[in-house]
Amino acid sequence: MSSIGASLKDKFLNGALSITLMSVLFGFLRGGIILLLAGFNPLEAYGVILKGIFSRPKYVSYVIIYSTPLIITGLSVAFALRTGLFNIGAEGQYIMGALAAAAAGYYLKLPMVLHVFTAVGLAVIVAAFWGGLAGWFKARFGVNEVISTIMLNWTALYISNWAITIPSFGRQGTGKTYAIQPTAQIDILGQWKRTPEGIAFLREHPMLWDVLKSPVNLGFVFAILLAGLVWYVLNRTTLGYELRAVGHNPQAAEAGGISVKRSMVISMLFAGGLAGAAGAFQVLGVSHRIATLAIMEGYGFDGIAVSLIGNNSGPGCVFAGLLFGSLKYGGSKIQDVMGAPTEVINIMIGIIIFFVAMPKLIRMILAYRKRRERN
C-alpha cells in the first residue's frame, strides 16, 4: 500500500503532472507581474477572471463551449505527435471539417439524428483526407509535414472563403452561409427554448434559463468521448502501439516489421479526422453556419498549445482545453471591467508553455526546494 502511495507521490512531485502544475503556477505569477508593471492590480484581475468563469451558470457553460473545439484540436495535434509528426495543419483540417459540415447541414434533408451523424461523418472524411494528404506527401515524397500542413491551412482557408461565394450556399453580401437545417443542429433544447411553452417554463427556472442563454450543445460530450477514443486507440490497440513505436524510434519500428510510411498516413488521417470533427461540432452546435475568414481563427494553433500543456494525452487534452477555454473566456472580461488588456492571457499561455518546455528547470527548482527543506 505504502509503495503505491509513494509511487503516486513520486509521480506527483517528479512526473509530468507536477511540471504542468508548476508551469501553470508560473504562468499566473508572471502574468500577475506583467499586469502589475502595467499598473493593474493582478489580484483584482484574477478575481474578475474567476468571477467571469464561475459566477453564473451561463458563464460556466460558455467556458465549456469555448473549450470544446480546443480539446478536440488538441487531441488531433497530440495524436500526430505520438507518431512523431507535428500537425500544424489542425487549423486547415478544422476549416475543411467546418465547411463540409455546413454544406451537409444545409443541403441535405435528413431525419434528426441521422442528419447529425451524416454531417459529422462527412466532415471527418473530408478533414481526414486533408490531414492524410500531408501524411502521404511525407511518406511518398518525403515532404516535411510542417511545410505541407502550413500550405494546406491556407489552401483550406481560401477554398472555404470561395465556397461561401457560391450563390446557393452563401447568403449574398453577408459573407456567411445559410444556416444549417434544424435537423442537423446539436443544440441542447435549441428549438424548444424559443417556443412559448419553453419560455414560460424557463421563467420559472432561472438557473436553467441562464444556462440556455448560451449555445449549449452536445459538442462537449463528443469531445470527452473522442478523448477516450484517442486514449484507447493509442494505449490499448495494436495500431496505437505501432503508431507510438514509430514516434519513439522509426528505425527500430521499421526493423520490427512496422511500416513507418503506412503509420504516417494513418496517423495524419486520424489527426485530420479529429480536427474536422472539432469544426463540425462548432458548426452544428454553435455557429450553425460558416463565415468568410480574413485570417486564421486559431483553433488549430491553440490546439497545439492544448496538446503540449496536456502532455499529449487524451485526458490531458481535456483538462488543458478547459484551462485554455476558461482563460480565454474569463480573460476577455478584464478588458471591460478594468481596462486591462485581455491579451495578458496570451502571455500567460505563452509562459505556461515556455515552462512546460523546460522540465529540467522545474526539476531543478523542485530539487532546490527539497534540499532547503532538509536543511
The site for another protein (CB under 8 A) is made up of: 34, 38, 86, 88, 137, 141-144, 146-148, 150-155, 158-159, 161-163, 165, 294-296, 301, 304-305, 308, 335, 339, 341, 343-354, 356-358, 360-361
Question: Please, what is the minimum distance in Å from the beta carbon of residue 297 to another protein?
Answer: 11
Whichever of 188 and 338 has its CB closer to another protein, that residue is 338
Question: Please, what is the minimum distance in Å from the beta carbon of residue 294 to another protein?
Answer: 6
Identify the three-state secondary structure at position 177: strand
Question: Please, what is the minimum distance in Å from the beta carbon of residue 60 to another protein?
Answer: 25
CA angle 301, 224, 266 (to 5 degrees): 60
Question: Please, what is the minimum distance in Å from the beta carbon of residue 351 to another protein?
Answer: 7
Whichever of 119 and 156 has its CB closer to another protein, that residue is 156
CA distances from 309 to 156, 234, 235 (A): 27, 18, 19
Residue labelled with grid coordinates 498549445: 305
Nearest to 363 by CA among 4, 10, 117, 14: 14
Whichever of 41 and 346 has its CB closer to another protein, that residue is 346
Cβ atoms < 10 Å from Cβ of 7? 11
Where is 38: in which H helix or E strand? none
Nearest to 127 by CA among 148, 153, 145, 151: 153
DSSP state of 182: G
Whichever of 75 and 348 has its CB closer to another protein, that residue is 348
Whichever of 242 and 302 has its CB closer to another protein, that residue is 302
Whichever of 188 and 347 has its CB closer to another protein, that residue is 347
Burial class (CB in 10 A: 0-12, 13-18, 19+), 271: buried
Residue labelled with grid coordinates 453580401: 173
Whichever of 47 and 350 has its CB closer to another protein, that residue is 350
User: With contact defined as beta carbons under 8 Å apart, do 272 and 127 qualify?
Assistant: yes
Question: Please, what is the minimum distance in Å from the beta carbon of residue 154 to another protein?
Answer: 4
Question: Please, what is the minimum distance in Å from the beta carbon of residue 160 to another protein?
Answer: 9
Question: Please, what is the minimum distance in Å from the beta carbon of residue 57 to another protein?
Answer: 30
Label residue 45 left, alpha or beta by phi (over 0 means left) and psi (-120 to 50 means alpha): alpha
Q: What is the DSSP string of 240-304?
A: HHHHHHHHH-HHHHHHTT--HHHHHHHHHHHHHHHHHHHHHHHIIIIISS-B--SS---HHHHHH
Whichever of 219 and 330 has its CB closer to another protein, that residue is 330
Question: Please, what is the minimum distance in Å from the beta carbon of residue 240 to another protein?
Answer: 22
